[in-house]
Amino acid sequence: MSYNPSDIESKWQTIWSETGAFEPLDDKSLDKKYILSMFPFPSGRLHMGHVRNYSIGDAMARYYRKQGYNVLHPIGWDAFGMPAENAAIKHGRHPKEWTYSNIDYMRKELSALGLSFSKRREFATCDELYTKWEQEFIIKMFEEKLLYRESTTVNWCEECHTVLANEQVEDGCCWRCSNEVELKEMPGYYLDIRKYADELLDDLKLLEGRWPSQVLAMQSNWIGKSQGLEFSFSFSNDSKEKLENKFNGFDVFTTRPDTVYGVTYTALAPEHPIVKELIKNSLLDADIAEKIIAMGNMTEVERAKADKEGYDLGLTVIHPLTQEEIPVWTANFVLVSYGGGAVMSVPTHDERDFEFATKYNLPMKYVISGGEEGSAYTGDGELINSDRLNGMKNSEAKEAVIKLFEERGLGEGTTNYKLRNWGISRQRYWGSPIPFVHCDSCGLVAEKVENLPIALPEDVEITGEGNPLENHPTWSNCACPQCGADAKRETDTLDTFVQSSWYQFRYATDPKKWNSCGIDKEDVDYWLGVDQYIGGIEHAILHLLYARFFTKALRDLGFIDNLKEPFENLLTQGMVLMDGAKMSKSKGNTVDPDALIEKYGADTARLFTLFAAPPQKELEWNDSAVEGAFRFLKKLYSRKSKVVGNTLPIINQSSLTKDEKIARVKVYEALKRSIDVYEKTFAFNTLIAGCMEALNALDKQKNEEIWREGLYIITHLLEPITPHICAELSQELFESKNLTGGKIEILDEVFVQDTITLGVAVNGKRRAEIEVEAEASKDEIIARAKESIPKWLEGKNVVKEILVPKKMVNLVVK
C-alpha cells in the first residue's frame, strides 16, 4: 500500500476527536506545560502564517504530552473587530453571523491540520459569557481608579470611524487601514497603564533570555523612562498682568540639569494652555495666532517632517537661578504630551534648540567646556559660566543641580515616561460594550455587576456612517443603576486588545466554572505562566505590553494570585514569504493551506513548514521543497515493509557490520538531538534533517532489527511534527508503544566505535584522513598521522603535535 495521506489523516483526526485525546487533566499534582499559540482573528480562512504558528505550537504540545506532562494547548477566537463590520457594510452580513460562520469554517481548517487543541476550552471573545466577565473587570478597574474617563486630544481614524490607542498608530497612520490619523478632542475611557510603567520596565529583566532581545528592547524603548529635573519658570510681573494673573508660570522637565545655566529661552507646545489663553484673548497678532493653530493641527507625520517653526509669545520668565529675564516662545517641536508640553532651551548643548535659536537669532551661552563656537556640543566636559558650579564635571553636575533646586525648593528630581495611558474607547459596534451609564444627576455610573453582560443589540444597522450603537433608537435607554432615573448607556465599545489581554487566564480556568467566574485563581495558579508562547513579532508592543499590564492589574485587583508575568517564554516566528515578499491577498502571492493539504496532506504541510527554516526566521515558500517533504514521507511510509517484529529490539552491538553500526549511530544521534530541539532551540529543521540522515543510513543496510529499532525511534521523534503518518506507522508496526511508553533510552554503547576516523592537519590545514583503533595511544596516532602525509613533512621539523580526541591531529611544522 502506498502512502495515502488523506485516508490516514482523516482516520486519525476522527480517532482523536472521538476520544478527546487532547484534553488536559484535572489532576493538579501532575507536572504541567502550558503551550499557547496566539489565537487567530476569524477572518474567514487560514493563511500560511497560521499554519506555521500552530505547527510550531503543536509540535511542542505533542512533545510534552508524550513526555508525560499535563499539557494545556488551547485555541479560541479573537473575534471582535472592524473587519466584521466592514463585511456588514460591504456584503450586508450581520457581524455576528459573519464572525461565527467564519469560526465554523476555520475550525474545520485547523482540524484538518491535525492540531492537538483542547476542544472543551475553545471560546470566542465575542461570546456573551466572555463579555460578561470582561465587563466585571472593567467595572472593578473603574472602582479602583485604574480606569477613568477624560476628554482629551485623541488619534482619530476617519476611515475606521474610531479612536486609536498610541500603540495603534504606525507612522502616523491607522494600524489597520493605513489611513492618516487625525487629532481630535473627545471624551474617552483610559486605563492607567502608566501606573505600572516602572513594574513593566523592571520585570523585563525576568524575561531576559526567555523573550527575544528585540522584543525586550522595543518594550523598554516604548516605556521610555528617563530621569531628570522638573522645575517651574515664573512669569515676570509684566507677563503675569498680561495673562490677567491666570498663570504664575509653567513647569518644564529636563534630562540635562547640568546645562541649566545655559538656558536662553523657553518654548511651549502650540497646544499648551498658556498659548491657548493668549490666542483666546487676542494677545497675539491674528496672523501669528492662525499660524500657531495650524502648527497644532498638523498630523504627527506632517509635524515630524516639518522644519522647525515657532513664534515669540511676547512673554518673559525669570530664570530661577540667575534671575535673568528670558523670552517665551512657542515651537512646533515641543510635544504637548510629554514633560508638561514645555521645555527649557539650551541651544549651545542641544541640537534642536540650536537649530531653532539659529533660525530665529536667539542668544546662546556655552556652559560646558569642550564644544566649538557655532555648534551644539552634546558631549561631556566641565561646567563654565555656571556660577558656583564652574569646574565641576557635567556628569556630576546633573545630581548637584537637582540637589540645588531641591534645597531651594525650586524643583525636584523626577522620572518621566514616554508611555501614555491606554485609550480603550472605540466608537464601533462590533466590540464589548463599555458597561457604564450616564445619568443627569449621578454622572458617570458603573453598571451593576448582576446586570452583566451588557450585550450588543442584534437589530442594528451598519452603514459605515457614525457609531451604530449611538444611532440605535432604543438601545442606549436605561435606568441609572444608582438612582433609577432615566439614563443613557455608554455607546463606546472596548478596544479588541482588551479581550486578548486576559484570554490566557480564561483558557486556564476549568470550563465547568466558566458560568460562575471569569478567572479561577487556583486554576490560574496551576497553569500559569504560559510555558511557551508563540506568535508574530508584530505584537511586540501592542498585545504583549497590554497583556503584561493586565496581568499585573488583575493581580492587584485580586483576580489572580502572585503572578508577575503571563508569558514565561516567547518565540516570535518569522513571516512566511513568497519571492521575498510577505504573502498577502493584495499582492496575490498567497498559498492556500486548504489546497496544500488537499494535494499533499497535513503532514507534508507541517513538515515543510518546520523543515525549511528555523521557526524564528523568515520562511521562503518553495513549491519544489514541499515536494521534497512529501517525497520523504512517502519514503518513510514505504519502509514499513522492512519491519517484522513489533517491539524495540535488544541488539548485540558487537555483532554488527560497519553499515549497521553507522545506521544505529545516526538514529541515536537524532534521538539525542531531539531533547535540545524540543525543549530549548526549537530548531526543528535540524531534527528533521537528523531523521532524514538516519533513514538514509538505514537504507544502506539490511538488518531487520536495526530497521525495527530505527523506525521505532524515528516515528517517535517525528510524531510531534507529522502526527498522522507516525501514529499510523506506530500503530501498524509497534502497537503504538513508541508513542505511549514515555522516553526512549539513549544507549551509550551505540556511540562506542572500534575505529575512529581522524583528520590530519599540517599547520591547521587539513591534508589527510586516518583511521585508527579506538583505544590507540596518542603516540600511535601521531605516528600514523605522520605516515599519512610524508610529502608535507619532507625537509621540515615537527615542532608541536596536537591531538584532539576523536576529531583530528594537528602537526605544526617549520
Cα gap 158→164, rounded to integer Å: 11
Cell numbers describing residue 588: 496575490
Determine which helix (DSSP H) or strand (DSSP E) holds 51, and give its type and residue range. helix 48-66
Minimum CB distance to RNA, residue 244 (Å): 26
Minimum CB distance to RNA, residue 131 (Å): 30
Minimum CB distance to RNA, residue 279 (Å): 19
Minimum CB distance to RNA, residue 186 (Å): 21
Q: Is 634 in the site for RNA (CB under 7 A)?
A: yes
Helix (H, G, I), strand (E, B) or coil at 290: helix
Enumerate residues 399-458 that contact RNA by CB under 7 A: 416, 418
Could you give the string, one character per residue 254-283, with x where binding to RNA holds by CB under 7 A and - elsewhere?
xxx------------x--------------
User: Among residues 106 and 200, whose Cβ is nearest to RNA?
Assistant: 200
Cα gap 537→542, rounded to integer Å: 10
Could you give the string, one character per residue 792-811, with x where binding to RNA holds by CB under 7 A and - elsewhere?
--------x-x-x--xx-x-
Minimum CB distance to RNA, residue 755 (Å): 11
In sequence order, which residues have a C-beta less than 8 Å from that of residue 223 and are 6 or more positions away?
197, 200, 201, 417, 418, 419
Minimum CB distance to RNA, residue 780 (Å): 17
Enumerate residues 56-75 that contact RNA by CB under 7 A: none
Enumerate residues 548-607 that contact RNA by CB under 7 A: none
Enumerate residues 698-757 that contact RNA by CB under 7 A: 699, 757
Minimum CB distance to RNA, residue 482 (Å): 39
Minimum CB distance to RNA, residue 350 (Å): 6
Among 8, 278, 648, 692, binds RNA (CB under 7 A): 692
Dihedral angle computed from the Cα positions of residues 7, 9, 15 and 16, in that order, rounded to the nearest 10 degrees: -170
Burial class (CB in 10 A: 0-12, 13-18, 19+), 694: buried
Cα gap 248→317, rounded to integer Å: 10
Cα gap 656→21, rounded to integer Å: 40
Dihedral angle computed from the Cα positions of residues 215, 45, 494 and 184, in that order, rounded to the nearest 10 degrees: 80
Q: Cα Rg for the chain, rounded, in angstroms? A: 34
Minimum CB distance to RNA, residue 16 (Å): 28
Among 614, 649, 744, 753, binds RNA (CB under 7 A): 614
Minimum CB distance to RNA, residue 757 (Å): 4
Enumerate residues 138-177 that contact RNA by CB under 7 A: 170-171
Minimum CB distance to RNA, residue 574 (Å): 8
First-last CA distance in the chain: 64
The number of angstroms, rounded, from the C-alpha of 311 to the middle of its chain's C-alpha atoms is: 42
User: Among residues 253 and 559, whose Cβ is nearest to RNA?
Assistant: 253
User: Among residues 196 and 632, whose Cβ is nearest to RNA?
Assistant: 632
User: Among residues 269 and 487, whose Cβ is nearest to RNA?
Assistant: 269
Cell numbers describing residue 23: 484534553
In sequence order, which residues have a C-beta less than 8 Å from that of residue 55 and are 6 or more positions away?
113, 605, 606, 609, 610, 721
Q: Is 126 in the site for RNA (CB under 7 A)?
A: no
User: Among residues 228 and 249, whose Cβ is nearest to RNA?
Assistant: 228
The half-sphere exposure of 103 on its side-chain side, counting CA atoms within 13 A, is: 21
Minimum CB distance to RNA, residue 652 (Å): 25
User: Number of residues in contact with RNA, rule: CB under 7 A?
Assistant: 82
Q: Is 764 in the site for RNA (CB under 7 A)?
A: yes
Minimum CB distance to RNA, residue 276 (Å): 16
In sequence order, which residues have a C-beta less than 8 Å from that of residue 516 and are 6 or more positions away?
none
User: Among residues 450 and 775, whose Cβ is nearest to RNA?
Assistant: 775
Do residues 788 and 766 make contact, with C-beta atoms less than 8 angstroms apart? no
Could you give the string, one character per residue 473-512, with x where binding to RNA holds by CB under 7 A and - elsewhere?
----------------------------------------
Among 561, 763, 783, 787, binds RNA (CB under 7 A): 763
Could you give the string, one character per residue 95-114, with x where binding to RNA holds by CB under 7 A and - elsewhere?
--------------------
Do residues 179 and 157 make contact, with C-beta atoms less than 8 angstroms apart? yes
Among 693, 737, 772, 776, binds RNA (CB under 7 A): 693
Question: Three-state SS across 567-615?
Answer: ECCEEEECCEEECCEECCCCCCCCCCHHHHHHHHCHHHHHHHHHHCCCC
Cell numbers describing residue 665: 549511530
Query: Are β-strands 755-762 and 486-489 bridged in parallel, bridged antiparallel, or unpaired?
Result: unpaired
DSSP 482: T
Closest by CA position to 669, among listed 642, 695, 648, 640: 695
Looking at 149-157, 239-247, 522-530, 688-696, which segment touches RNA (CB under 7 A)? Answer: 688-696
User: Among residues 544 and 648, whose Cβ is nearest to RNA?
Assistant: 544
Enumerate residues 667-686 that contact RNA by CB under 7 A: 683, 685-686
Looking at 52-60, 150-158, 248-256, 506-514, which segment touches RNA (CB under 7 A)? Answer: 248-256
Could you give the string, one character per residue 197-236, with x where binding to RNA holds by CB under 7 A and - elsewhere?
---------------xxx--xx--xx-x-x-x--------
Minimum CB distance to RNA, residue 687 (Å): 10
User: Among residues 83 and 228, whose Cβ is nearest to RNA?
Assistant: 228
Minimum CB distance to RNA, residue 37 (Å): 20
Enumerate residues 523-542 that contact RNA by CB under 7 A: 537, 540-541
The half-sphere exposure of 138 on its side-chain side, counting CA atoms within 13 A, is: 30
In sequence order, which residues have a C-beta less than 8 Å from that of residue 625 and are 6 or more positions away?
608, 611, 612
User: Among residues 635 and 640, whose Cβ is nearest to RNA?
Assistant: 635
For the chain, give the number of residues: 814
Name the residue type at position 523.
Answer: D
Minimum CB distance to RNA, residue 332 (Å): 5
Among 635, 639, 640, 737, binds RNA (CB under 7 A): 635
DSSP 24: P
User: Among residues 297 and 441, whose Cβ is nearest to RNA?
Assistant: 297
Minimum CB distance to RNA, residue 129 (Å): 34
User: Among residues 403 and 800, whose Cβ is nearest to RNA?
Assistant: 800
DSSP letters, 671-696, are HHHHHHIIIII--HHHHHHHHHHHHH
User: Among residues 500 and 810, whose Cβ is nearest to RNA?
Assistant: 810
Cα angle, residue 337 at apex, residues 333 and 340 outer, rounded to 5°: 90
Minimum CB distance to RNA, residue 183 (Å): 13
Alpha-carbon distances of 106 from 42, 51, 534, rounded to whole Å: 7, 12, 19
Enumerate residues 292-351 that contact RNA by CB under 7 A: 300, 303-304, 306, 308, 332-335, 338-339, 341, 343-344, 350
Which residues of 404-537 form beta strands (DSSP E)? 411-416, 422-423, 425-426, 436-439, 443-446, 477-479, 486-489, 493-494, 532-536
Question: Three-state SS across 308-350?
Answer: CCEEEEEEEEECCCCCCEEEEEEECCCCCCCHHHEEEECCCCC
β-partners of residue 234 are 249, 318
Do residues 106 and 42 make contact, with C-beta atoms less than 8 angstroms apart? yes
Among 631, 702, 743, 778, binds RNA (CB under 7 A): 631
Among 129, 201, 392, 689, binds RNA (CB under 7 A): 689
User: Among residues 166 and 369, whose Cβ is nearest to RNA?
Assistant: 166
Among 16, 250, 253, 546, binds RNA (CB under 7 A): 253
User: Among residues 434 and 692, whose Cβ is nearest to RNA?
Assistant: 692
